[in-house]
Amino acid sequence: MTFISVEFLLFIVGCLAVYFAIPTQWKWLWLLVCSYIFYGYHNLLYVPLLLFSTILDYQAGIKIGNSAKPGSRKLWLGISIFINLAVLVFFKYFNFLSSEFQSLAQFFGAPVSSFQHNYMLPLGISFYTFQTLGYSIDVYRKYIKPERHFGRYALYVSFFPQLVAGPIERGKKLLPQLRLDVSFDYQRTVEGLQLILWGLFKKVVIADRLGLYVNEIFNLSQGHKGPAVIIGAFLFGLQILFDFAAYSEMAIGLARILGVRLSKNFGNASFFTSPIHMWSQWHITLTSWFRDYVYFPLSKSGKNKWSAHLALFITFLITGLWHGASWGFVIWGGLHGLYLVFDHITVTRRNELYNSLGLDKSSSTRHLMGILAFLPFNIISGFFFRAGSVSDAMTLIGRSLDWSSVYLGAGRVGNNEVLLIILLLIATEFLNKQLGKRQIHEYLGQKPTSVRWLFYFLVTQAILLLRLSDIEKSPFIYFEF
């Protein structure tokens, strides 16, 4: 069940009612039960897999923590990493690797059949696997002590607000909170509801509507070209940002009601002035995971700054692959790796250039110039992320250069729909500017009651009146990873 469903509403009301009624020592058990019900609702068959991953890393953590011998600690860490990644590779990458191996073998003249399995990708496996791996590594590095309470550890892995699409939490931050010594708090509940409302708005009003246009453009059979294709790729970047940020916001809001603070996963910016800026705002918990567990180990093994650049590039290739088993995702990751390397290499020179033009860091002109400079590169990478294949991406890039037709609508998505999208983006960007670095509940907390209620009224009416019709149902994009 997704967060936007009647089933989930009934589920959460029931969950909360019992949660705040039972004594603290049983709250973890009740949340654990709820989390497994939530996960099992999607597909009961994969519940044992979640449990297996939980038991494996619980045990690995205990063994690593109990052992003084470096060899034994390393062995258990290795077991945890190997088995977790093996499971992830099997479900997510096996078919891709198998068909690529077959292509390669056939290229060299070897008649090899491709073996493909029919297992569905378990929901959230990319997220909870990384969360448990992070835990094992942190225990090994002695950043945290292993969690001895199995139930609490199991809840850390399966905590339903963030189970299927993050934020990816570190053990150091989440585990202590799962003692759940909380009672119902009005202010905390209001803040949680504010986050959920804002997330709902971003998803239902903005992301879904952007998806109408994007789906039309990326349907190659429609033959769209010229500016419509460029706009489509640009809007895709916004769609995935709003869609994923919405989910994260709702997850954080739900957790807040339960008395748990999850990590911020997205900044408020919709437009980025540079690759460094983008990756400091976008899927923050995933980026920091790759930084801490892939980039730093890789870069430390190198001897100079070029090794660090190479490590950065490789990290982003892997980041791309994390998103999906296709060359399109790898190319997307690789492009962003290159962008980041270029950004790091040139940042000093660019700052000097801006300063020589009298444009300091607070200058809006400098801000705009940064956005306009980075945008085309972001759009190009977006083609590879969204298109079904590398060849489809190249076809669309080619079509985007054909300006024989300057019709901006896309099929059934007419100019008036495009205008509505623009108006909504302007309104949202205006509010984002007001937010600055604050999250919505922090911003509203500083406003008078009248402003808060006006916000509630306008946002809820927008959700009710501007949501898509039943026909264009749209699941959260990141559920596909």
Partner 1 sequence: MKKLIRKGLLFAVIIMVPYAALQRYVITHHDHNYPKLTGQHQALITGLSREKRGISPDILQEEFGMSYTPQNLAFNSATSPYGPYYYSFLERKYLDTRAPDNFHLIGVSPVSVMNIRDSLMDGRESFDLIYKLHSVTDEPNLEYLLRKPALKVLYKEATDSFFRRAKREVHVHDNGWVEINMAQGHHRTQGPVSRSYSVSARRIRYLQKTIDMLSKTGRVFLIRMPVSHDVLQFEEGIYPGFDRAMHQIASEKSTPYLNYATRNLSYEFSDKPGHHLTGKSAKEFTHLLSKDIRAFLSDR
Residues making contact with partner 1 (CB under 8 A): 20, 184, 186, 189-190, 212, 215-216, 219, 221-224, 405, 407, 409-412, 414-416, 419-420, 453, 456-457, 460-461, 464-473
Q: 224, 309, 323, 441: which is the annotated catalytic residue?
A: 323
Q: Which is nearer to partner 1, 186 or 430 (CB)?
A: 186
Considering beta carbons, is residue 175 or 387 the nearer one to partner 1? Answer: 387
Minimal distance, residue 453 CB to partner 1, in Å:
8
C-alpha 436/C-alpha 269 separation (Å) is 8
Helix (H, G, I), strand (E, B) or coil at 8: helix
Tell the residue number behind the tokens 């002109």, with chain if given.
Answer: 365
For residues 449 and 227, the answer to whether their CB atoms sit within 8 Å is no
For residues 72 and 415, which CB has a smaller minimum distance to partner 1 in the complex? 415
Smallest distance from partner 1 to CB 218, Å: 9
Q: Which amino acid is at 95?
A: N
Least distance in angstroms from the C-beta of 32 to partner 1: 24
Does the annotation count 42 as an active-site position?
no
CA separation for the pair 41, 30 (Å, rounded):
16
- Minimal distance, residue 247 CB to partner 1, in Å: 22
Burial call 347-369: b when 16+ CB within 10 Å, e when fewer: eeeeeeebeeeebeeeeeebbeb
Choose among 115, 107, 132, 119: nearest CA to 57.
132
Instruction: Report, in Å, the least distance between residue 431 CB and partner 1.
Output: 19
Q: Which two tokens stand for residue 469?
A: 């019709």
State CA 424 to chain mean position distance: 23
> DSSP per residue over 238-252, as a string?
HHHHHHHHHHHHHHH
Determine the angle formed by the axes of helices 125-140 and 70-88, rounding to 10 degrees: 170
Lookup result for tokens 């070029």: 306
Cis amide leading into 167 (omega within 30)? yes
In the numeric block, the tokens 């085309």 are attached to 376
Give the nearer residue to partner 1 in terms of CB position, either 113 or 469. 469
Write down the least CB distance from residue 222 to partner 1, Å.
5
Joined together, the tokens standing for residue 339 give 């962008």
Tokens representing 283?
């899927």
State the nearest-atom distance from the C-beta of 467 to partner 1, in Å. Answer: 5
Residues 6 or more apart whose CB falls under 8 angstroms from that of 22 comprise 30
User: Two tokens at 10?
Assistant: 């009934």
Q: Which is nearer to partner 1, 223 or 358 (CB)?
A: 223
Torsion angle of the four alpha carbons 119, 125, 126, 128, in this order, in degrees rounded to the nearest 10: -170
**155 versus 413: smaller Cβ distance to partner 1:** 413
Tell me phi and psi for residue 440, to 5 degrees: -60, -40
410 φ, ψ (degrees, to nearest 5)? -135, 100
- Nearest distance from residue 420's CB to partner 1, in Å? 7
When the beta carbons of 47 and 468 are compared against partner 1, the nearer one is: 468
Q: Give 209 or 283: the residue with its C-beta nearer to partner 1.
A: 209
Active site residues: 323
